[in-house]
Amino acid sequence: MKPKDRQRPLRVGLISLGCAKNLVDAEVMLGTLLQDGIEIINDPARADALIINTCSFIDAAQEESVDTILESAAFREAHRHGQALIVAGCLSQRFRTQLRELLPEVDAFMGVDEVPRVTEIVHQALAHRAARLDARPTAPARGRARAVQEALARAVASQAPAGDRAGAANASASSVPPPAPVAVQPRPQYIPDYATPRFRLTPSHYAYVKIAEGCNHPCSFCIIPQMRGSHRSRPMDDILHEVRALLRQGVREINLISQDSTYYGLDLRPRRTGAIAAPDRFRAAVRELPPEVPTLARLLRALNDLPGDFWIRVLYTHPAHWTDELIRTIAECPKVARYVDIPLQHIHDNMLERMRRETSRAYIEDLLNRIRAGIPGIALRTTFIVGFPGETDACFETLLEFMRRVRFERLGVFLYSQEEGTRAARMSQQVPAEVKERRRQQAMALQRQICREHNAALVGRTLRVLVEGEVRARGPVPAEVRSWEHGLVRAGANGTSLVPGRWMVARSEADAPEIDGRVYIRGTLPVGEFATVKVVGHTDYDLIAQPA
């Protein structure tokens, strides 16, 4: 810091990438920094330290993380030399032994378990940056993104214990600064609790509540268990304590998140001997649980009993861990949104087996039928992966036929991403990129038509919506939406064109924040409150309404 700045608090900025679970970690870091007297700032040019909370879920998310790091380093060189750069989140967790050499611009790395230590790590990073300026190294940040990505891929493929020396050499010329501190535990154990400081980054009317962390599933395409550790649930009383506080703050929608929300509580059972994956074993274990052990169904009933007018939305449920009790609970709890987020990934038995999804086509079809029959008015959201190794034209046609028959209200499509370090990356019969893209476009064209037909059936009906805010953009509202956790969820260049006038944007019970449809309402309604509207029109993905 400059001498004239020594009397003011440290200023820290933060960029959070990736999923809602990562966003909660960012909120915890900001809350901790504020509690420790550090000022949070949105302008990177005025920040003494900048934290980038990274995602490494698929290649595209990892590329975005690396690009953001290098762009931030280049911005620092141009505008604020003394700024410390800190990399947190999944990229640090996954490449904890490689990044110090591959990204010498960074002043500290921190993993999942180090989120509560963020203030200490900020001070370490500032000290490292000061020492680095004294050493005056040459570290050009521009033009290295591809080299870093390739080095990370080689590192994982070879399980290299250290960084790519050739890649690092490009970033270091004459003087060698002290190595950046790395605070990353190899197997994360941390999960926040109610007492954890938190500064929410969502609008005031909705919040994400992390009920568990980590994952026990062996999916052949996924690296989340390697980055986030095994499944670990929060005590139910702790969750209820947090939700009560959020409701007192005026929150109208509680979004429950974890890597596998349907596994919630099973790791807290007495005398457990390991993880349970297969549906039959899971159902048997749930039947044997003593009443004091929480499950998702018990948590939902407890949340539903809390006073107030609010929605409870469950995200990230695994098809292998649904029970009849969970179906009954959603049907019987009026505050639980009639919305099911259930990533299926595929329906062809050969693909499900190669993906190690622990479910079969017959099981999935029976489950969906039971959910539809047991929860009237339910909206089903899922995601599919196209182009997985071994996916033939016949497998893909089976998937399309399944989509036509089930007619999901909400659906996203991933291109298979060949993640080094996963079982699927080593499989034969990898699908060419152009075939994967063609299949994704076919699947999304079909889903766009299904969504349009769903929306047309809603015209003339009244809906309860949660008002998000006023539409300020002029002209069409963009229709294409991509998400690292939900794939491509809106396809097509045509947006929602609104006639001149004052419009509000809202979400229905069938729409999760930031990923699903929108309801555009002509007129004025209170932001952050529920309202009843009448649907008077629709587009491919959105509804047009007026206050009822």
* 447 φ, ψ (degrees, to nearest 5): -65, -35
Let me know if domain 206-457 sits in CATH 3.60.40.10.
no
- Residue spans of the domains in the chain: they are 3-183, 206-457, 462-547
CATH of 3-183, one of 3.40.50.12160, 3.40.50.2000, 3.40.630.30, 3.40.50.720: 3.40.50.12160
pLDDT band at 171 (very low <50, low <70, confident <90, very high): very low
φ, ψ at 405 (rounded to 5°): -80, -45
Q: pLDDT-based confidence at 156, cuts 50/70/90?
A: low
Q: Indicate if 206-457 has the same CATH topology as 3-183.
A: no
DSSP calls for 66-112: HHHHHHHHHHHHHH-TT-EEEEEEHHHHHTTTTHHHH-TT-SEEE-G
CA-to-CA separations, 149 to 87, 157, 427, in angstroms, rounded: 16, 12, 21
Q: How far apart are CA 486 and CA 383, in angstroms?
A: 6
Residue 402 CA to residue 395 CA, distance in Å, equals 11
For the chain, give the percent of residues with pLDDT over 90: 73
Question: Domain 462-547 - what CATH class?
Answer: mainly beta
Give 135's DSSP letter. Answer: H
Tens-place pLDDT, residues 297-337? 999 999 999 999 999 999 999 999 999 999 999 999 999 99
The answer to whether 162 and 97 have CB atoms below 8 angstroms apart is: yes
CA separation for the pair 481, 492 (Å, rounded):
9
Q: How many CB atoms lie within 10 A of CB 507?
A: 21
pLDDT at 164: 40
How far is residue 81 from each of residues 15, 44, 137, 173, 256, measured CA to CA in Å?
A: 19, 12, 12, 18, 41
> What global pTM score does this model have?
0.91
What pLDDT is recorded for position 152? 78
What is the tens place of the pLDDT at every residue in 490-538?
A: 887 555 677 888 999 999 999 999 999 999 999 999 999 999 999 999 9
